[in-house]
Amino acid sequence: MKEQEVILEILGMHCPACAQRIENSLSKIDGITEAKVNFASKEAIVRFNLDKINISKIKASIKRAGYEAVEEEDFSVERRREALKRKLLLFFTGLALTIPIVVITYFLVFPGKNLLLLVLTTPVQFIVGWHFYKGAYNSLKNRFADMNVLVALSASAAYFYSLFSTFFIDGVVFYESSAIVITTITLGMLLEEMAVEKTGESIKKLMELQPKTAIVMQDGGEKEVSVEEVEVGNIVIIKPGGKIPVDGIVVNGHSFIDESMITGESIPVEKNVGDTVFSGTVNEAGTLKFKAVKVGKETTLAQIVRLTREVQASKAPIQRLADRVVNFFVPIVIVIAVGAFTIWFSVFQNRTLALTTLVSVLVIACPCALGIATPTAIMIGVGKGAENGILIKNSEVLEVVKELDTVVFDKTGTLTRGELEVTDVVTDDKRKLLRVAAVAEKRSEHPVGEAVLKKAESEGISIPEPDSFEALPGLGVATRFRGMDILLGNQTLMRNRKVAIGKLEEYIEKLEMEGKTVLIVAVDGKAVGLLAVSDTIKDYSKEAVKMLQEMGLKVIMLTGDTKRTAEAIARQLGINEVMAEVLPAEKVEEIRRLQSEGRFVTMVGDGINDAPAITQANVGIAIGGGTDIAMEAGDIVLVKDDPRDVAVSIKLSKKTLQKIKQNLFWAFFYNMLTIPLAAGILYPSLGILVRPEIAAVTMILSDITVVGNSILLKRWKS
């Protein structure tokens, strides 16, 4: 099956119900495997089988639903601005006509008053309000009821009753109600759209990081090309102050790169030959040449944008519940409105109040607040994470995180650097011992030997070639150099070669208790010193463990190391529970065992060796250091190689869920409180609420409250 993905900009959406309607329509089409439509970003992400359907047919389907679709490369800021200008023109046209309608209705009396009101109201009803009628038609055509249906019904009821009163009966007219409802809700939609636009700023900022051009080496010279023309293997030149166009490996030069836009890390990162650079980051100092290794949609920046878009378009279980409520909500509201009309008209013989309650209930109950409660919070929460190098790949994780009680860390590469390092040198002459040890290990391919050589080189020690070299598996190495016999290895090697350790034994015991590998150095049969080698703890691992423990979470370390080594590192980190000597294939079984004990587990690992365990956990967190993001198994990917972000990601997820719940509470509370009042349950004491214009303003305030509450999430700090 040839599966393809397309991102489409959707024009003409007025509320979250529009997005749901398009999504439902696309999901029913044979060949479309998945469709996610996001009202806040005005985007649809569609996966489809190219053998069964193409992009043109997808666009045609969206058009049949009453909307227009534009492909990603045709996205246009100008187009959005033009659409906004048209909406503003409609609003001001409505306002210019509504003001005199209100003044004439409430303050003037003269012959032909109703006819003049009819003339002024008709353009508002059918020009300014045309998009409500169009939306209602498309909704009903697709067997769906949304805000457009309610507005069209309420405004039409007021307008056509007034029209009937003007020509056929001597009754009260409600032209001002119709005009105020349409103009006010048009304004509300404008305000809501502008507010919702703010929730998608993180994606826009990320997309703007991608430079349009790149300078590449071509035919012995430099040539500026569009970023789309850069190919894997090209040598790209980046000058001071320039944005890096694609991911690559530095082949020449030295500089400092500002990676804050990708990782959230404010301190520029030093780059030398062999280091990786990422698209969208800024070169601060020297000129660099680098080999392009990932271009186009494969770059780290492109993957971050794609993952962030996908989760913002996805629906958390709590959102699906809200969608189901909205589906039933509109028909229920219509029943309540008709019921209120019938009671006031038939029982109380109050024709004016009957029509007023009908219109007010229909207006005040528009379900926009319910529809945008979840997506606006997710847009900002997920965007906030992306800005700080935390990629929440699945919106469902937001609801699962609150249940977590146990965090399991893989040790190597997660809590520790994953590289052996010489941590201690025990001798009278450090430089001399390091030189002797480095000569002994010069021809070794063992990671311990690499650590010794790296330490000697960092001290500026020259390392000559040994005269002979012998690797002794499980013991160490034996080397001859300028007449000296050098041994470097463990206690067993020294016992086998009858080398007395003497006073060094107490140091060996102490270092081994700290979980370090001890190397004894002997020259001509005499022990002259010790080197201790260890996989060192990352700078912020201890702080990360403490943060999680302060959140009430149990922290466990999972490793293949020996129990003694693992417990020594755990003590340094403040971790009380260790699962040691666990083979990579056994890690997933350990996670299952914890889950069988009733624990809700998050597994934190590098996303490669730990992928099965990360997938098995209730929440998987991949700490990837910014590479191969799309390949990681986690529900959450940490771009920075910083274990503190585990706690930050959990806090952010909980805060986002809290905002969703607050939004849904206010949306439900608002409707439960205002619908009965609009129906006249407390009339006449609160009769002011039984007015269409008041209902329209109140409905708009509920939408703005929900969006505003979501925007407050932008101020969140870990």
Which residues are known to be catalytic? 410
291 SS3 class: strand
- 309 neighbors 41 (Cβ within 8 angstroms): yes
What DSSP string describes 460-523?
A: T---PPPSEEEEETTTEEEEEETTEEEEEE-HHHHHHTT---TTHHHHHHHHHHTTPEEEEEEE
Q: How many CB atoms lie within 10 A of CB 127?
A: 14
For 717, phi then psi, to 5°, come to -130, 145
- CA–CA separation, 609 and 604 (whole Å): 11
**Helix or strand run (H / E) with residue 309:** helix 300-313
For 564, phi then psi, to 5°, come to -65, -45
DSSP state of 244: P
**Who contacts 450 (Cβ-Cβ below 8 Å, separation ≥6)?**
420, 441, 444
Spatial strand order in the sheet of 247-252 = 221-226, 213-218, 235-238, 288-294, 247-252, 276-277
**Helix or strand run (H / E) with residue 320:** helix 317-342
> In 3D, which of 247, 242, 272, 251 has the Cα closest to residue 262?
247
Q: Is 571 left (phi over 0), alpha (psi -120 to 50) or beta?
A: alpha
231 SS3 class: coil
